[in-house]
Structure formats: structure tokens, C-alpha cells
Structure 1
Amino acid sequence: MAQLARSAAPVLARYAAQVDREASFPAASVRALRDGGLFGLLVPEEYGGLGGDLHDLADAAQILAGGCLSTAMIWVMHGQQVDAIARFGTERLRKDVLPRIAAGEVYVGSVTTEPGTGSSLLTAHAPLNEAEAAEELRLERDAPVVTGGEHADAFLVTMRDAPQAAQHRVTMVYAARAQLRVRTSGGWDPLGMRGTHSVGLRLAGEVPAHQVVGGRGDFRRVAVESMIPAAHVGWSACWLGAARAALAAVVALARSPRRPAGLDPASDLVAERLARVRIDLEVVGAYLGEVVREVCARRRAGDPLDLPATQIHLNTLKVVAAESTYRAVDRLVRLTGLATGYLKDSPVPLERQLRDLRSASLNYADDRLLVAVGALSLADRAVATAGGAPAAYQPERS
């Protein structure tokens, strides 16, 4: 699976500057991922997919992000939706949709943002309604940010379960574009991640009841067991892959006879600055690997992921990866200087990578996750840090 990503990465790199400049959807790069079979990485083999797991997702995401972070993020978020369908979709939905995803025919977008929810994943305002046709559900909602939404063939949409339901009783439904009326609202001209083309959408339509994913009002379980782990692992891998590519480019430049004067590999100052970048990426890479091993092991054993310690590890991964990869590339910009690190036309695209990685701490805000980690820490009295650490010593109370 990593080899498939290595074959596609040069295509992503070829179009990365263009999609950033134009803030346009990377259609050619996404086509390469469709045609190369990577859209089906998380589709089980019985449905024609590659049968990969989150370890494979993380490996491929790092490689793809080295070519274009925007495209890699589009792909990871598609994979997040696929994982939810494969794990929580009805048998009929899986049989209908997963083979088409594996064949590269269906790109699934994510519709979880909503005006007024403050980006809270586990609440929804717009309600599902019973449609006039039997066994059908009617949905109508606005989404201010939908990654690649104008180009998605289908969507996973979160809705309040019913008009009278509480906002935390959320239902997820699969909706094909052909089942919806889709209208774009607003444009997309951000600082970074410009190729994700994350425009706002208004969706309205009717879907069969068998397209509910995870059961009525039970989205929290889908989020905890599938969408959050896939997102935090996939996003972190993307950010790490982009930062690793940036460091690799700077190291190659430092070893080149055409290196700038300030990038002398014999300089202790240069070595110290490179060391700080490398250490940041080592920490992220090691923690990513450990969290992926933990999640995959619990999945294989059929154990839930809702333990406080596991949730702490997943949230910590996202925060540490977001902060550390941005800091690493910022240090590379300072190390390489104005001409190499800061200009848009530099042969080393640090300027674009820095802008892209600035979004990492905002892509589901770190502040929210830190609050969650703090609250969960009060529930994890053993202080079970990642890596299978023994329970923390606690003196006996008299």
C-alpha cells in the first residue's frame, strides 16, 4: 500500500503549487488516487478493497503529504468516512457502496460542521424528518466548511435525530449526491490548505432509512470508535509527512554545492537548529506509531476505544502533531532565510508548507482538545501514558 502512495506522490507534487496558487480542487491528483486504488485502502477485501488498517492509512498519508498536503488531507478525510461506513454501515449500504468506493467511483465528503454548533462534533441543530415516502428520511442543512464538497460523489452527514430530539442525540446518514440538491454557499480563499477547496454547502434531499450509519441517535459511538481515531491518526500523519518532506529538502540543499551561505553543514549553529527540527519530528513519529499500535490492537481484540487513557492518547497525538510540525517548519524557514525559506518562488516550498501547517492547530481547535484531555485526566487515576506504562505510583492513604 505504501508503494501505491509512492507511485501517486509525484503526481501530487506536480500540481501542488498550482492548486495552492489558484485555491482550486486538485482534480488531477485526486484522479491519480482514484485510479491507483487508494480510495479503497480501508475498504475490506470482501468488498474489493485493499483491506488496510490505520497503520496503512498513516504510512500512505505521510508519503502523499510529502507531495501535497492539501490532497493528502482530502484523501485522509475520505478514508475517515470509509472507515465509518465499513464499521457501522448497514449490510445493504456496505454492499451498495463499498465496492464502488474500492473501484474509485465514489469520493465521500464529510458534513459535520454546522452554523451555531461551534464546531462541536457531537451536537447538531438541523433535524432529520420522516419523508412522505415510507422508510425514507428527509434532511436539510447548511455546512459552512466541507472539504472538497463541490467534487464529492456522496457525503456522510450528521443530523439531529428528530425535530424533538436533544442536540446531542445525533444521527449520521450516507447521502449520495444524486439523492440531494446541493448548493454552494461562499468561496474559499484561505491562508493555507488552499487546495482542499473547503467551501460551504447547503444540502437538501431524501435518503432511504438503511443509509443511517451507526443507528438512530448513536453517532457518538461512530465518532469515538471510528471517525475521531481515523481523523487524528490521518491528520497527524499528513502533517508529519509534510514536515518530513520539508526537512528532507533542506538537508538535501545543505549537502548541495548550491547551498546558500547561511546553510553551512559544518556550522554548529546549523547543526543545532537542524537537531531541534529533527527531534520535534522524531517525537511526533514515535507517538503516532504508538497510538496507531494501541488503536489497532484494541480493534483486533474487539475492545472499545472509549477508555479515558485511549481518548487522551488520541487527543494528545493531534495536539502534539499540530504544534510540533508547524514549529519544525517555522524553524526551517528561519534557518534557510529570506531567499530560500520565505519566497513563494523558492525551489524549496517552505513558504507553502508553513501556511498549510498553520491550519493544523485550528483543524478542530487544539483548545477544545486540551480541555477534553484535562477532564479525561481526572478520570484516569492510573495515569496510563501511551506505550503500555504501568500504573502510576500512588501512596496509600492513611
Structure 2
Amino acid sequence: MTNEELLLLFNDLESDRVERKKSWNSSKEKIREAICAFANDLPNYELSGVVFIGVHDNGDCARLTITDELLLTISQCKDDGTIVPFPTMVVQKHVLSGCEVVAIIVEPSYSPPIRIRGRAWIRVGPRRAIASPDDERILNEKRRSKDLSFDLKPVLSASIDDLDIGLFQRIYLPSAIAFDILEENRRPLEHQLVSLRLLDSVETQIPTVVGILTVGHTPRDYIYGAYIQFLRIDGNELTDPIIDQKELDDPLPDTMRLIDDLLEINIMTSSTFVGSRLEAKRPDYPIEALQQLIRNAILHRSYEANNTPVRITWFNDRVEISNPGGLFGQVNKSNLGQGATDYRNPHIAEALKNLGFVQRFGFGIPIAEKSLDVNGNPPIEFQIAPNSVLAVVRKG
């Protein structure tokens, strides 16, 4: 968006493509709702919406002090896990009509509905509102007309009967949609599945890739690499004896819990005594670090390009976690683990966030590194190839 276009919107007090807020701290939630509404683009303008921070509703300048720290804080709301799927937006500092403001420029999403804490927000003229069932139907139809990421494509050989409806209603639906919205709308099952991107459309009732992975009865029947291979080896080489091996190919909620159980079983804790009475316990690996790295691999792997599983190989001196998918988008060797984010599978990311297995996007590796450091383990070793990423965690 050019400076001239921004200035026109800034001075147009009637435009429904603009929201004005005097500060970030006083309006954080309303600003997030506005970002969500502009991304959903219910009127189908196919034009950017802008949130100006530092100006009152009547156009008077709020004389806000804008620092680099403020710009960074605002930009982080894109991937802090509150708004899913991720909106496309930029945060910039501008001086417009003599007023210093922050401009959040939000692009219409290819994957509506976008939600904040389980609610889809839209623009209704000059105000925001929570999307009604009919509004969500329109947003779903818009999504199907766009170029889809692989995790949102229909699995043509599957049908709605291949989804575990009990798992969906018991676990996924209440984790993804706010309780009051569920109580108010009481939408038919097919509409709920479509709204959450687990079904392609009400008419065809074909599950999407993310639908099969999240609540499919047997995901591996349709997405052949969709499993975790676990090997426990008695030694430091692949040729040493295998103590245990498992293949986890359940839907995501069950697979993630099974992984946590495996980690609990295999992590060994040693005790040392400090003085005569104080016992200090330390695991050979901090569970949080391994959880973050495995979840990262499941989220960022390629489900389209190959049928290789995520591999967890547990040696006596290290754990290796292999992700069959190279670095994606803006993430590269130099910024890996430094907060850079890009998503090959944005809707799988949304599912993991809804299920509570991801708290904040872009922080998995830093959290793992911190946990390892506190526990006394060496830093993670990454071996990066064009089509895979191997994370090696050595014993503390």
C-alpha cells in the first residue's frame, strides 16, 4: 500500500476499511478483533484493511510515542497464537497529516474464517461483529475459491465417514470454538466441520488433509507418511540392538498424548544428594525440550512431497528427531530458532494450537534450547539438508 493510499484512508472518517485506536495498551483485544475482521473480508473487497494506532475515532491525533519496542510488540500479535490461521499483515510507522501513527495493514485471507479465541470477527459497515452461521458459510465459500495450501486440500478418496465424529465433538470442537458460540449457533455437524476446515464443503462432504490428520479414523490410510516412527536403541549406533520400536499413526490428539507417554517412560532421572538431606533430581533430557522439537517436526514436515515418517531415534547418548521436510519460506539456516516463522502447513498449526499443543508460534526451538541449558544439556545440533531437518539432542 502506497503512502498516498494510506493518507486517503487515514483522512476518510467514513471508510469501513479503517479502524482508529488511540493506543495499543488500551485497545489490544479490539485491535486483534479488527485484524481478524479485515482478514476475513466478508464484503469481499479484496483490498487491505488498516488499523491506525495513535489517532482518535474523530481523526484527532493522540500524540502517541512510537518506539521500536512498540512496533515489535504489535507485530508479534500475528503469530502469538491468538489469531488462527495466521493473518497476513505488516506493521509500519508513518506520519500522516502531521500525526505519527502505527499502521497495521491487513491483507484479505485466502483461508477464512480467521478466528480469535474461537470467534470469527467480521466488519458490518463501520463496526465489528461476531460472524453468524450465514456469515461463516459465505467465508467458507470464499476459501474454496482460492489457491489452497496442501493441508487444506480435499482427500478425494475419503468421505465424512472416515472422520471420527466422536473425537471431533468430544475433543476438537470445544477446543476450537468458544462455548458461548457453540451454545448460541447449534449448527449442523457438516457446517461445523466445514467451518473448522476439516471438511471441504457441505455439498461434497470430502475431508481435507488437516481433517484426516486431526480427526480421521486412520490417517495413514490416506496420507501415507502420517505417522511417527520411534526406535529405542541399546547403544550409540543404528546397528546396535533395538530395545523398543513403535509406529504412532493415530489422529493428532491421540498421537500427541502417546508421544508424551513415550517420553515419560524413556527419560531417566538421576538423584544426587547435596549435603546430608537435600536431594537433587535431574533428568537426562528435559521433557519440554523433546516435546517442542517433536511437535515442531510434526507441524513443519512435508506431507505432500514424500511418504517418510517423522523419526525419533533414541540412542544411549542422544536423541535424534528427523523431520522429512526442508526449511520453508523465509526460514533459513541463519535464522532457524531465532523467532523467524513460516508455515508449510498453516492449518495443521491451527489444529495443534486449538488442541493446546502449541502455545505460541515461532518459540518452540528457543523454549527447547532454554530447557536444555537449564538442565545442563549441550545445545541442539541441527543437520539441515534440502529435504529434511535433523535435530540432535545430547544427553546431559
After TM superposition, the score normalised by the length of structure 1 is 0.25
- Of structures 1 and 2, the one scoring higher in RCO (CA 8 A, sep 6+) is 1
Q: Higher strand proportion, which one?
A: 2
**Structure label with greater radius of gyration:** 2
Q: Higher helix proportion, which one?
A: 1
